[in-house]
Amino acid sequence: MTSSVLASSQTWWYVARASGLVAWALAALAVLWGLALSTRALGKKPKAPWLLDLHRFLGGLTVVFVAVHLTGLVADTYVYYGWAELFIPFASTWKPNAVAWGVVAFYLLVAIEITSLLKDRLPKKLWKGVHFTSYAMYAFATVHLLTAGTDAQNQVLHWSVIVSIGLVAFFTLYRVLGPGRAASVRSGAGRSAAGAKPRIPDRATLRAAAAASAANSAPPTEPSPPPAPPSAPGQVTYF
């Protein structure tokens, strides 16, 4: 009976609608928190481990609410959604362009989360390259929200999108042009210096260093006595 009530009502539509809004908000927060950490806006080296854990938690929670969003779309009977409509761009008969933005954003989100979980086993360049697609994921999800969602005309949602876009732009410019970039450069230089291999001196350098050490360790010679003063006229000097 419960299943028939859910199928005949708009419950699943509300589930898909609410979970989609929450998923977008969590994705925006995850991107903003990651930018705040990378730009050293929270300190040159945040000591509390929960700061990074919160960034990961937000990303993981985004995946959970996206899964709820997809489940609500499949369960809702107003518009048919199967595997193709959910995971193939432009396969949906309802607003195919708007839905395609969400499909691509979903794939980027999954790639970012998987590489984040396997960060220690992947090359740093690969992980960093995939992580930079967070910008595209956020942009595609925002377009999907404004074009496919039924709350596109909601003023609260509009202002939320404007504020989030402004914050992402600010932190990005802060990272590229401001003190955030200088902090990143200094941190990278410090890591390079710390990871540099020690230079092995050649034989000529070793001989020169040994000679300098021997010269510095030799006892100082006693100064010679000053010459005797000249005798005065008429004075006889006895030896």
Residue scoring higher pLDDT (50 or 47): 50
Per-residue pLDDT, 221: 57
pLDDT at site 174? 85
pLDDT tens digits, residue range 80-103?
A: 999 999 999 999 999 999 999 999
More confident residue, 212 or 233: 212
> Is the pLDDT score of 55 beyond 80?
yes
Query: What is the rounded CA–CA span in Å between residue 151 and residue 231?
Result: 117
For the residues of 142-177, what is the DSSP string, one character each?
HHHHHHH-TTTT-HHHHHHHHHHHHHHHHHHHHHHT
Residue 217 pLDDT class (50, 70, 90 cuts): low
- The pLDDT assigned to 230 comes to 56
φ, ψ dihedrals at 235, nearest 5°: -100, 135
Across all residues in the chain, what is the average pLDDT? 81
Token pair 């001989």 is found at: 207
Alpha-carbon separation of residue 204 from 25, 197, 198 (angstroms): 65, 21, 18
Q: Which residues of 101-110 are buried (b: 16+ CB within 10 A; e: fewer)?
A: bbbbbbebbe
**What pLDDT shows up at residue 47?**
61
Q: How confident is the model at residue 168 (pLDDT cuts 50, 70, 90)?
A: very high
- The predicted model gives 165-186 an average pLDDT of 76
Residue-level pLDDT at 177? 83
Calculate mean pLDDT across residues 112-137: 94
Identity of the highest mean pLDDT range in 62-66, 177-181, 186-190: 62-66
Confidence band of 78 (pLDDT split at 50, 70, 90): confident
pLDDT of res. 69: 97
